[in-house]
A and B are shown apart, each in its own frame.
Chain A
């Protein structure tokens, strides 16, 4: 461009003028227009001390405290004010390592430009005893002060995984959540995380006046303008602490999950993932953190909502319901079974009386019956082809909540696995698969992944004869209502009348006399009318998983349960006793089957676990 040199100087000067004008405008804004800065200037003679709120208490459904609070103190340091410090004395009071303290004091000195006149946390969570010693000698420690805080306390030795733990907010969290400040505690897992916004409360402050030498003189105007901290909201969880504790005892030395739901509300009564976290470790999580994380049993991992398993035979209930709804079978349909279904690669079955109808197929868990029913569903001539019949089947299964997140308030909940036509097209080639290719689905094997929560929800759905409430662990919150979605019925695509047909089979599976071929007759409890279905899920990790879903009583069910034990063998041997002991405890208050109870408590199934 033909600009001569003289102009270049003028352009630079023009730039200089623009910068100057921007500066003058900002100065005009700060010094003349904006009142905020003048007001804050007088406020600068005040010192604001944060008052931390007590975190909300978590109760169980019967009013027992699961998580409470106790007082502790944080010792704060204002590096700018520290003078003539007796480091040794300070270390003695708080039992600190003198080298560490020297190092952090040196750090403050190094960064004093950045720190300026800020107050920073020095030692955290000092006990009231140490605090009183500090208070006596406080005059010796210029620049140090104490702020009361509350820390968590766990009176009931149960629900470690459910409650979760709290810890100090880290840099990554603070960057994403600007409303938090360094030093705030936040819920990391479990209920503490799920209901963080309710539990945390609101911080307040005390205002103090400073004199010219920057020393705090007195409370400003007798604390008239102080803001009190607003405590966090108390939460009532739907958990039954005693039941939870009992099931945790039953599940000791076993790997798996037990979930119990109240069908009429969707409230989770018990949710055990074993092995789990002990509450004793929650209180001082930072001390135990490495140990917990490195434990090969993964105690932090909440299997009940995060582990998709093959459902096994309990899934026959779903297939039976779908076949009934599609009209491909009815209660009179029978199929012969001679140790299995013999078409194609076939499916083996155990010896039992033949032929079976809907009721006896559930009672005796016949594989052949469901292979037949499933093929009729998928090859149903009412649909143009296998793919569209399969898509319909998939919609049915999804209406039970499988393959999707149920939307509970448990952090980390997974949706599990539900196969799709795309998946099968990939495996077998487009439209190169038929009902026989996917026959494993008929007995709950194959490309299915369901969490124990899904299965508990299935039990609750059947107990309700066709609908479920989203499972949740919150019962109520002080001064607030809980998520309205939790009181919303979710209907499956299967009619209530069809549910009644399969429930009879579930009733007989538990309550038919021994010798009738019923799979779970060992665990019947007189007067409880338990309806259940066993499952023995094959899996690539070793011995079969032991599964049992059930609800009781038959009419107006009060509780629906799943027990899922990894690599434990037959459903009837381990899962069924645990699930029914739970029901007995909940409905009767006492367990009369002492022998069974002792057997379960004292059994150790850990050696069959393949890690």
Chain B
């Protein structure tokens, strides 16, 4: 098959140029993060930056192959074969993989290491795109939901078995793809509400969470029933009562119940609202009331079970990381060490940074994993707020560009694949940068195109360039 040369004039250069800039930033950041005077040259092959140069060159070769040598129709045809192949690799690595930092997720081939989870991200995206773009596929059918869900959960489960929880988490980002392809926005909103209440309960108390939940619920009822003034008035009257409910309760005539705790008094105070909600729902049978009632009830259950989940279900180190993130405990020598050092490094960068190779925090080994997961520290320290914001800007541009191009596709296969790419990139971006600046728990996943490592760079290059090549097809 022949591709007319003039088709390549339509290549999406903004994406390619952004990619090249990011990769270049990655290279010099790896250089800066492990720099010392003995090995001064950036092409020194005994050092990580020398190796990163090789990864970059090979990535460019791979990118070129994808653009010019592979028939893009193959992706849809071979999607499932590739998917099954990566599942096999994921299973195999559990048995023959080498253990790195406590997780068994790497193949060792000669001097090279390769993580099948990286491949699984791409093949799962292809498989999803292939399935969801097929004729008369409707996401809202239960069987379709199950099939797509299973396609994502299977590799996720295998990766969790390898104890590589961070990579497994990345697969959660496909929820955005499902959202785009038809799942109700409620799923996202509920997810967000659950996470908010979870964090509030752990950082503060169930008391605070309950009040927040009450406020959200009242606002929701007011918005849907369009009775804004009533809503505001209700909040203004009831909030003080709720906040002071333990004190009011103890002063009141109910002295027999003086042993109730604060939360229990609050529950008593909220009960009338709840009963009213149940009454209204039964009487009016409107769908929004049902929604609010169900989510209110589910949230209350969540709030009261968080403590249990946290104490009994999570493992020690996971609990430590979350507690540290939320500031519940400040353990600067244990679980909080990495993040604390990382924040110091970034904070010391100031507005304009200390300048290229002038960083001290990242070079003295205070920050661990400074060339891989914590590479953002080097950028924050040496380039300051300006550099950090610029890098964040590049990622935002990259993701929006991919979304925009996806929407322009006539072929839904490419659109779904593009959304998958954007979602995976977004989650990496959010978690990686988030953890270095202390707004996300420490989850060891790399910053795409920037972090040191061939496996990750190759994978993201392949991922991106398949999309760029697929995008060309719409000009035919």
Contact = CB atoms under 8 A, between A and B. Distances in A.
A182 to B, nearest CB: 7
A28 B334 CA distance: 26
Contact of A37 (B180, B316, B348): B348
Contacts of B184: 1
B85 interface: no
A3 B185 contact: yes
B230 interface: no
B351 A32 contact: yes
B185 A40 contact: no
Given A16-B426, A214-B365, A31 B347 contact: yes
B464 interface: no
Interface string B343-359: 11111111100000000
B392 A38 contact: no
B437 A27 contact: yes
B366 A30 contact: no
Interface in A2-31: 3, 5-6, 8-9, 11-13, 16-17, 19-20, 22-24, 26-28, 30-31
B437 A23 contact: yes
B101 interface: yes
Nearest to B328: A178
Question: What range describes how many residues of B lie at the interface?
Answer: 35 or more
Contact of B364 (A9, A20, A210): A210
Contacts of B296: none
Interface in A32-49: 32, 34, 36-38, 40-41, 44-45
B180 A22 contact: no
B380 interface: yes
A11 B180 CA distance: 10
Nearest to A13: B400
A110 interface: yes
A181 B333 contact: yes
B364 A44 contact: yes
Given A12-B403, A40-B344, A23 B364 contact: no
Given A16-B396, A41-B348, A118-B333, A11 B185 contact: yes
Chain A: interface secondary structure?
Answer: helix
B451 to A, nearest CB: 14
Contacts of B330: 178
B364 A212 contact: yes
A289 interface: no
A30 B426 CA distance: 23
B58 interface: no
Given A31-B347, A34-B347, A116-B337, A12 B180 contact: yes
A8 B180 contact: yes
A31 B185 contact: no
A23 B380 contact: no
Contacts of B439: 22-23, 26
B366 A44 contact: yes
Contacts of B346: 27, 30-31, 37
Given A27-B380, A116-B337, A182-B334, A20 B392 contact: yes
Given A16-B396, A27-B388, A41-B348, A6 B343 contact: no
B179 interface: yes
Given A8-B180, A27-B389, A41 B345 contact: yes
Contacts of B156: none
A18 to B, nearest CB: 10
A196 B458 CA distance: 57
Contacts of A11: 185
A117 interface: yes
Given A27-B385, A31-B385, A1 B351 contact: no
A257 to B, nearest CB: 35
Given A24-B389, A26-B439, A117 B365 contact: yes
Contacts of B349: 31
A16 B400 contact: yes
Contacts of B433: 23
B388 A113 contact: no
A431 interface: no
A1 B224 CA distance: 13
Contact of B179 (A8, A32, A41, A181): A8
A532 to B, nearest CB: 44
Contacts of B368: 113, 116-117
A17 B400 CA distance: 10
B347 A38 contact: yes
B338 A12 contact: no
A9 B396 contact: no
Contacts of A13: 400, 403
Interface string A148-182: 00000000000000000000000100000010011
B437 to A, nearest CB: 5
Contacts of B347: 30-31, 34, 36-38, 40-41
A16 B407 contact: no
Contacts of A113: 101, 368-369
A246 interface: no
A22 B437 CA distance: 11
Contacts of A9: 180, 403-404, 407
Contact of A24 (B364, B380, B392, B400): B392
B329 interface: yes
A127 interface: no
Interface string B382-394: 0011001100100
B361 interface: yes
A264 B388 CA distance: 73
Interface centre among A5, A13, A24, A30 (most CB of B within 10 A): A30
B441 interface: no
B425 to A, nearest CB: 10
Nearest to B429: A19
A94 interface: no
Contacts of B176: 12
Contacts of A6: 407
B344 A41 contact: yes
A178 B368 CA distance: 24
B430 interface: yes
A14 B333 CA distance: 38
Given A13-B400, A27-B385, A32-B351, 8 more contacts: A8-B180, A23-B439, A26-B438, A110-B99, A110-B101, A111-B101, A117-B368, A178-B330
15 contacts: A9-B403, A9-B404, A23-B392, A23-B433, A27-B388, A30-B347, A32-B351, A34-B347, A38-B350, A41-B361, A44-B360, A44-B366, A116-B341, A117-B368, A212-B364
When A and B form their complex, which 9 residue pairs have the shortest distance between CB atoms, in order from nearest?
Answer: A37-B347, A41-B348, A116-B368, A30-B347, A31-B385, A26-B437, A113-B101, A40-B344, A178-B329
